[in-house]
Chain A
Amino acid sequence: MLEWRRRREPSAAMLYASPLIAVALTMLIGVAVFTAMGYPGAQAVRDIFLTPFLEPQRWPDLGVKAAPLVMIALGLAIGFRANVWNIGAEGQYIVGAIAGTGVALATHGMTGWWILPAMAFAGILGGMAFAAVPAFLRVRLGVSEILTSLMLTYVAVQGLYYLVRGPWKDPDGFNFPQTRLFGADQTLPVLAEGSLVHLGIPLALAIALVAWLVLEKTTAGYAVKVVGLAPQAARHGGFRADGVTWACLLAGGGLAGLAGLFEAAGPFGQLTPQFPSGYGFTAIIVAFLGRLHPLGIVFGGLALAATYVGGEIAQTTVKLPQAATGLFQALLLFVLLATDVLVTYRIGWKARAA
C-alpha cells in the first residue's frame, strides 16, 4: 500500500519541482479529457502549451499577454506572503483602466509627453483607491478582504458598463458601447514595428526585479514575510500588521491598476465592455505557480500567457471551444494545489501490518 509520510523538513527541491509536475499533470489530464470528448487531445494540448513557445511569431503575443499577468501577480504575491488575500485584482485592474481613461478623455486632442505618465499615475491611484476599500474594512472592522475584494470586482465591471454606455460613449461611435480611441500621445509606444509589443513588457520585468529587491533586501519586504509567517513575532519585532495589510493591498491595487491602464492604452486603445478579460483572476494562478517569488512569477506569467495564446491557436486548429482556456487554467491551479502536498509529505510504501 502507498501512504503519505510527513517530511521532517519541507523539501526545497519539491518546492520548485511541484509547479513543473503540476504543468505536466495538467497536460496529461488535458489529453485524457479532450480525447474523451472526441477532440484530438494530444494535439490540443500541444497547441495550447507548446506551440506558443515553439513558434517565434507567437512570442510577441506571449509577451503582451504575460506582461499584465506578471504585474498583477507581483502585487498579489506580496500580499499572499503576508496572509493578505486580495482576490479582487480584476476589479482594481478595471478601475485602474477607468481612471487612466478618464485622463485620456480629459486630454482628448491634446499632445504632450506628460499625458501618458499622467494616465499611468491615474491608473495606479485608481487601483489603489479601489483596493483601499477592502484594506479599510479589514483593518478597522475585521471584514475578510477575500469577500470584499472579490465582490468589488462586480462593482467595477458594472461601473465600466455604465461609463461606456453612458457618459463616456464615443460621440462619433455609431452608438456602439465604447469610448473614443486614444490619441498617439495617449497610447503606449510600440517597441517592435508591426506588433503589439509595448512598453509594459520591459516594465513588468523591471517591476519584478524591484519587487524581488524589496522583498529580499529591505525591512519592508522582511515585514511582509514576518507578518505572514508569524504574526505574533512580527508584533514582538515592532512591525504593525495593520500597516502591512494596508501596504500589501495598496501595492496589489496599484500594480493591478497600472496593468489595467497599460492594457487600455496598449492592446485596446479604448475602453469597451469586453475589457474585463479575467487577467486579475488568472494572476492568482500565476502568483502561486511562481511560488510567490518575483522571478518565479515571470515564468508563471509566461506559462499562463501560453494558455491564452495557445487557446486561440487550438480554437482554429482543432476547433476547441474558447472555454478550454479557462478549463486548463483552473485545472492547473487545482493540480498545483494538490501537488504541493509533496512539499511537506512524501510517498512511501506502507509496511503490511503484522
Chain B
Amino acid sequence: MTAPPRLALAGISKSFPGVKANEDISLSVRPGEIHALLGENGAGKSTLVKIIYGVQQADAGAIAWDGETVAIPSPRAARRLGIGMVFQHFSLFDAMSVIENIALGLDEAVDLAELKVRVAAILQSYSLPLDPDRAVHTLSVGERQRIEIVRCLLQKPKLLIMDEPTSVLTPQEVERLFSTLRQIASEGCAILYISHKLHEIKALCEAATILRGGKVVATCDPKIESAKRMAELMIGAELRQIARRPGGGAGAIRLQVENLTLAGEPPFGTALRAVSLAARAGEILGVAGVAGNGQSELLTALSGERLAGSGAAILLDGRPIGLEGAGARRALGLACVPEERNGHAAVPDFALADNALLTARHRLPLAPLGIIARGEVERFTQAVIRRFDVRTTGPGALARSLSGGNLQKFVMGREIGQEPAVLVVSQPTWGVDAGAAAAIRQELVDLAAKGSAVVVISQDLDELLELADRLCVINEGGLSAPRDVAGLRIDEIGLMMGGMRGVDAQAGGAAHA
C-alpha cells in the first residue's frame, strides 16, 4: 500500500468578476516530490497557489492533506499544516538584520538567542552561506531569498511552495538553490515549483502539471517529455494559425530604434541591451516574451518616461526623439499604452474626462495655454466612450468604477482617437473579456491600415499571431531579429520565449542546466 499524497487537489475552481482563474483543477504531490506547476502568465498558477496557501478560498473543489480533507482559511492555517511559501517578491525589512527579519516572520514569539541557534543549525545542515547578523540591505537578491527559505524551514514544512524563485537570480545562485531544494526534497518535503522556464523544470522536477487558461491541460514527467512538447502544451497546441491579412507591411519606416541600451531600474528592473527595431507604416510588429524580460522597460523607454542615452537611439519618422520627454513625443505622434492600467495608463481616482486630459492634451486642443477647456475635454471623452463602446455612466465617472476591460477600452480609445503616427501598446487585452479584446484588436488593425505603425508587446502568443505581421522576442532585455509571422512555427517562438534560443536546443533541453 502506498502512502497518500501529501497534497491532493480535486476539482478546484475559482472565478473573479469576468474571469475564471481556475477551472476544475486537480493535481497531487507526493512527499519528497518536486512538482512543477507550469504555465504562461495568466494561466492561473498564482491563484491556485494562493488557494493552497490560504490567501484565497476556492469556489469549489476539495483539498486533501496526507489523505484527509482539510480547509485552509488563512496562511496561518496553511503554515500550521506544514505549508511554507517563498514568494517571488520578498517581504523583508532592509534596515534590520537577517535574524530580526526571520523572527518577525514567525507566527509565535521566540527568544532571539534560541532562534539564532536553530537558524545556525539549518544554515549548517543545508550548507547555506548566510550571516544572521548582517543587515538585509547589504545582501544580494540570492541571499535575501535564503532568508525566506530559512524562515520556511524553521517551521519544518511538509510542503514548500516556490513562486518563480529563479526570476531574480544569477545562474550560479540558481545552481545553489537547486541543490538546496533537492536536499529539502530528499528529506521527505514535497515541493511545488512554479515556473515557466522549461530547462529549469527539466533539470529539477519529477512531475509537471501544465495549466493553460485556468485549466489543467496536461500532466507529464518533464525528464522524459521534450521541451518542445511542453512549450506547445503551455502555449496551446490547439492554436489555430490565423489567415494573414493581405497587404500591409511595405510602408516607410515610422519608428526606428537603434542600439538602445538602458540600465534596469532597481531592484527588479531588467536592463535593455542594444535593442533595435523598425516598425513600418501599415504594419503591426509583435514583441513576444515572458514577463519581466524587459517589456515594461522597453515601453517606458519608447514613451519617454525614461530617456534614451542619445537622441538618435529612437527615430520617429526619421526625427531623433531619444532625448524628448513623454509630452513632446506624444505631440510628435508617438503614443504609448503601458500594461498597467491603474496608476500608470490612468489615474483611478480621476474622472474619465480628467484621464482623457492626461495624455490627449498634447495632440488635441484640450488645454490651450494651460487653461483646461472643459467643453473640449468632455466632447473628446464622450467621443471615445461612444466609439469604443465603453460601458460607463459618462465622462464624469471615476476610472476606478470601470471594469478592467472597459477601462482598457477607454485607454486604448484615448490613444487611438488621437490618430498617432506610431502606437506602442503593452498587453492590449490583459484581463479583458473576449468581446472587448476582439474590439480592441480590430481597432489596432484598423489603425495600422490607415498608415500608422503599431507595436504590440504581449505575452499572449495567440494574440500576437493573430495581429502581427512580423514578430520578435524579447529575452533578458535583448530583442531578437524580427521574423515574418507567416513562416513562423509556434514551437520556435515558445522555445525563444523560454530562454532557449534556436530550434537546435530542443533535443538537448539540459544545455542550460
* Minimal Cβ-Cβ distance residue in A for B303: A236
Knowing A219-B361, A222-B357 are in contact, say whether A230-B344 is a contact too (CB < 8 A).
yes
User: Are A236 and B345 in contact, CB atoms less than 8 angstroms apart?
Assistant: yes
Q: Cα distance A217–B371 when bound, in Å?
A: 6
Q: Cα distance A230–B350 when bound, in Å?
A: 10
Chain B residues within an 8 Å CB radius of A222: 354, 357, 367, 372
User: Are A220 and B370 in contact, CB atoms less than 8 angstroms apart?
Assistant: yes
Query: Per a CB cutoff under 8 Å, which of B305, B357, B371, B400 touches A235?
Result: B305
User: Are A238 and B344 in contact, CB atoms less than 8 angstroms apart?
Assistant: no
List which B326-362 residues lie within 8 A (CB) of chain A: 326-328, 330, 336, 338, 340, 343-350, 354, 357-359, 361-362
Q: Cα distance A219–B371 when bound, in Å?
A: 6
Q: Does B304 contact A (CB under 8 A)?
A: yes
User: Are B372 and A236 in contact, CB atoms less than 8 angstroms apart?
Assistant: no
Would you give the shortest CB distance from B398 to chain A, in whole angstroms?
Answer: 8
- Point out which of A218, A238, A240 has the most chain B C-beta atoms below 10 A from its C-beta: A238
User: Are B304 and A238 in contact, CB atoms less than 8 angstroms apart?
Assistant: yes
User: Are B367 and A238 in contact, CB atoms less than 8 angstroms apart?
Assistant: no
User: Are B347 and A226 in contact, CB atoms less than 8 angstroms apart?
Assistant: yes
User: Are B359 and A236 in contact, CB atoms less than 8 angstroms apart?
Assistant: yes
How many positions in chain B have a CB within 8 Å of any CB in the partner chain? 32
Would you give the shortest CB distance from A240 to chain B, in whole angstroms?
Answer: 7
Task: Indicate with 1 or 0, residue by residue over B298-317, a CB within 8 angstroms of chain A CB atoms.
Answer: 00000111000000000000
Q: Does A229 contact B (CB under 8 A)?
A: yes
Chain A residues within an 8 Å CB radius of B303: 236
User: Are A218 and B372 in contact, CB atoms less than 8 angstroms apart?
Assistant: yes
Q: Cα distance A229–B343 when bound, in Å?
A: 8
Would you give the shortest CB distance from B143 to chain A, in whole angstroms?
Answer: 25
List which A215-252 residues lie within 8 A (CB) of chain B: 217-220, 222, 225-226, 229-230, 232-233, 235-240
Q: Does B188 contact A (CB under 8 A)?
A: no
- Point out which of B347, B371, B401 has the most chain A C-beta atoms below 10 A from its C-beta: B347
Chain B residues within an 8 Å CB radius of A233: 343-347, 358
User: Are A238 and B347 in contact, CB atoms less than 8 angstroms apart?
Assistant: no
Q: Cα distance A252–B400 when bound, in Å?
A: 31
Knowing A232-B343, A235-B326, A236-B359 are in contact, say whether A218-B348 is a contact too (CB < 8 A).
no
Query: Per a CB cutoff under 8 Å, which of A9, A220, A230, A240 touches B347?
Result: A230
Q: Does B325 contact A (CB under 8 A)?
A: yes
Chain B residues within an 8 Å CB radius of A238: 304, 325-328, 330, 359, 362
Query: Per a CB cutoff under 8 Å, which of A220, A226, A240 touches B358?
Result: A226
User: Are B354 and A236 in contact, CB atoms less than 8 angstroms apart?
Assistant: no
List which B380-404 residues lie within 8 A (CB) of chain A: 398, 400-401
User: Are B330 and A219 in contact, CB atoms less than 8 angstroms apart?
Assistant: no
User: Are B338 and A236 in contact, CB atoms less than 8 angstroms apart?
Assistant: yes
Chain B residues within an 8 Å CB radius of A225: 350
Q: Cα distance A230–B346 when bound, in Å?
A: 8
Chain A residues within an 8 Å CB radius of B398: 9
Q: Cα distance A232–B344 when bound, in Å?
A: 5
Chain A residues within an 8 Å CB radius of B338: 236
Chain B residues within an 8 Å CB radius of A218: 367, 370-372
Chain A residues within an 8 Å CB radius of B400: 9
Q: Cα distance A222–B371 when bound, in Å?
A: 10
User: Are B325 and A230 in contact, CB atoms less than 8 angstroms apart?
Assistant: no
User: Are A240 and B325 in contact, CB atoms less than 8 angstroms apart?
Assistant: yes
* Minimal Cβ-Cβ distance residue in A for B329: A238
Chain A residues within an 8 Å CB radius of B367: 218-219, 222
Would you give the shortest CB distance from B17 to chain A, in whole angstroms?
Answer: 13
Would you give the shortest CB distance from B243 to chain A, in whole angstroms?
Answer: 36
Task: Indicate with 1 or 0, residue by residue over B260-294, a CB within 8 angstroms of chain A CB atoms.
Answer: 00000000000000000000000000000000000
Chain B residues within an 8 Å CB radius of A9: 398, 400-401
Chain B residues within an 8 Å CB radius of A230: 343-344, 347-349
User: Are B343 and A237 in contact, CB atoms less than 8 angstroms apart?
Assistant: no
Chain A residues within an 8 Å CB radius of B325: 238, 240
Chain B residues within an 8 Å CB radius of A237: 326-327, 358-359
Knowing A218-B371, A235-B305, A237-B326 are in contact, say whether A229-B358 is a contact too (CB < 8 A).
no
Q: Cα distance A219–B362 when bound, in Å?
A: 11
Query: Per a CB cutoff under 8 Å, which of B328, B340, B347 touches A229?
Result: B347
User: Are B327 and A229 in contact, CB atoms less than 8 angstroms apart?
Assistant: no
Q: Cα distance A230–B370 when bound, in Å?
A: 20
Q: Cα distance A237–B300 when bound, in Å?
A: 12
Chain A residues within an 8 Å CB radius of B345: 233, 236
* Minimal Cβ-Cβ distance residue in B for A220: B370
Chain A residues within an 8 Å CB radius of B357: 219, 222
Knowing A229-B350, A236-B305, A238-B326 are in contact, say whether A217-B359 is a contact too (CB < 8 A).
no
* Minimal Cβ-Cβ distance residue in A for B374: A217
* Minimal Cβ-Cβ distance residue in A for B326: A238
Task: Indicate with 1 or 0, residue by residue over B438-472, a CB within 8 angstroms of chain A CB atoms.
Answer: 00000000000000000000000000000000000
User: Are A229 and B361 in contact, CB atoms less than 8 angstroms apart?
Assistant: no
* Minimal Cβ-Cβ distance residue in B for A237: B358
Chain A residues within an 8 Å CB radius of B305: 235-236
Q: 14 extra interchain contacts, Cβ-Cβ under 8 A, other than A219-B370, A236-B326, A238-B325?
A: A9-B400, A218-B372, A219-B367, A220-B370, A222-B357, A222-B367, A229-B349, A229-B350, A230-B344, A233-B358, A236-B305, A236-B336, A236-B338, A237-B327
The 3 closest A-B pairs by CB, nearest first: A238-B327, A238-B326, A237-B358
10 residue pairs bridging A and B, Cβ less than 8 Å apart: A217-B372, A225-B350, A229-B347, A232-B340, A232-B343, A233-B358, A235-B305, A236-B345, A237-B359, A238-B362
